[in-house]
Amino acid sequence: MGQSDAVRVKSDLIYRFLSHGNNVERFQSQIKLYAWNGSENLSELSIGNYISRFMVHKTLYDVVEMNKLQAIRLRNPDLTSNEYRKLMEYSNSRFRMLLGYLDELDGKGRNTFLLR
C-alpha cells in the first residue's frame, strides 16, 4: 500500500527543513530521545540513526521521482509546472514538492522556490 499525499508532503517538508544549512546537526544536538524499558532506568537513543534512515529513504524516493520528471521534461521541454504536475499524476497538495524537484533539476537548491 502506498503512502498518502499528506504523508509525502509532510516528509518533504521535514526533508527540506533538515537539508537546509546545518539543521541536521542543530536538530541532533537539541533533541534527545529516550527508551523506557519498564524499569526506573531510561536509555538514551541516538536520534542520528533515525535521521539517517529517513534521509536515505527520502533521497532514494526523490531520485526516482526526479528521474521520472526529467524524462517527462525531455519529451516536453516547454510545459508549465502545473502541466508537469498533471503528467506526474501529482495532486495539488504535492505541487510544492514538484517545484522543489524542478529547482533541483535546474541546479538550484531544493528550497529556492520558497524564497521567491
Decide: 18 and 27 in contact? Cβ < 8 Å.
yes
Q: Could you tell me the pLDDT band of residue 116, with boundaries at 50, 70 and 90?
A: low
- 34, containing H or E segment: strand 33-36
Residues 66-103 pLDDT 10s: 999 999 999 999 999 999 999 999 999 999 999 999 99
* 7 or 111, greater pLDDT: 7
**Domain count along the chain:** 1
Q: Could you tell me the pLDDT band of residue 1, with boundaries at 50, 70 and 90?
A: very low
Residues 33-53 pLDDT 10s: 999 888 888 988 989 889 999
Instruction: Name the residue range of residue 72's domain.
Output: 5-115
User: For the ranges 15-24, 52-61, 70-79, which has the lowest average pLDDT?
Assistant: 15-24
- The rounded distance, in Å, linking the Cα atoms of 111 and 115 is 7
